[in-house]
Structure 1
Amino acid sequence: MKTIDHVKLDRIVAEARRAADERNQGYRERALKIYPWICTRCGREFTHANLRELTVHHRDHNHDNNPPDGSNWELLCVYCHDNEHQRELEAQAGGSVADTAPTGATHTPFANLKSLLSNKKN
């Protein structure tokens, strides 16, 4: 049975995290310089105090596609960003419950009302 080299595994994970952080800082900083600090979806405005809640969304969902002009980015608040990715997951899975047409109500509470009222008059 093979033994796991935990030191090597920890190093690989640390390098991957460091590379992801560098990549994130690079395009995030550029996007914040290009675009106004407003969520593209809900219109919420951001300041330095809450800027951490504004994220960069990749329109084509490819985090390695970072053109210098920012054409693959849009700034979204964390809530809209989560919603966007959830919609993408649902689309890949073939839709969501919300995509189905709502069914009409089957209960008719006043179906007997006319007969009840006419019986009362008699």
Structure 2
Amino acid sequence: MPQKKSHLDKDKLNQIVIEARRNQELREQSYRGQALKMYPWICGRCAREFTHKNLNELTVHHRDHNHDNNPPDGSNWELLCLYCHDNEHSRYEETRFGNAQSHAASEPVATHSPFANLKTMLNNKK
């Protein structure tokens, strides 16, 4: 019986390896895999360098923000770290939908200054 179990374990292990290799090939065919082969592993904004150890923190940004536009030459892609990618999308959303601060400018400004007489009040206590 121990031989049968060992044989099953080897078959299961072989199946896992085959599936992992197939998944790797599929990833490499994706635009992320293509971009990682095409470009150096450096953030296009902050110039942070990446290795295999932290490569999951490097993202592919679509310059025109259209995730269906994936030309094979990679002209619509740039590699950005997670932080720069979030920043880029925040800036895009602000320009697309308007900046929230511009709406606040039309509201009345507070005129009360609670510390205006602070010096006088402190001098009166002495």
Return the TM-score normalized by structure 1. Answer: 0.60
* Residues 41, 49 of structure 2: 8 Å contact kept: yes
Give, as a single letter, the amino acid of the residue that structure 1 aligns with 2:41. Answer: W
Which structure would you say has the larger Rg? 2
> What does residue 94 of structure 1 align with?
98
- Aligned partner of 2:67 in structure 1 is 63
Structure 1: gaps of 5 or more residues: 1-21, 102-106, 108-122
Q: What's the C-alpha RMSD, in Å, of the aligned pairs?
A: 3.4
| TM-fit CA distance, 1:97 | 3.0
Q: 1:28 aligns with which of 6, 16, 32?
A: 32
User: Is 1:39 matched up with 2:43?
Assistant: yes
Taking the aligned partners of 1:40 and 1:95, their CA distance within structure 2 comes to: 25
Retained in 1: the 8 A contact 2:41–2:51? Answer: yes
SS in 2 for 1:32: helix
Range moving further from structure 2, 85-94 or 62-71: 85-94
| Structure 2: distance between partners of 1:24 and 1:90 | 33
Q: How many residue pairs are counted as aligned between the two chains?
A: 98
Q: Which runs of 4+ in 1 moved over 4 A?
A: 22-25
Partner amino acid, structure 2, of 1:62:
N
Give the counterpart letter for 1:35 in structure 2: Y
Summarize the Cα distance change of 1:84–1:30 in structure 2 as closer, same or farther, 3 Å threshold. Answer: same
Please give the residue correspondences for 1:77-92 in structure 2 after superposition, counting only pairs within 5 Å: 77-92=81-96
C-alpha displacement of 1:96:
4.6
Distance in 2 separating the partners of 1:55 and 1:91: 22
Match of 1:29, SS? helix
Q: Distance in 2 between matches of 1:24 and 1:82?
A: 24
Asked whether 1:54 is paired with 2:58, we answer yes
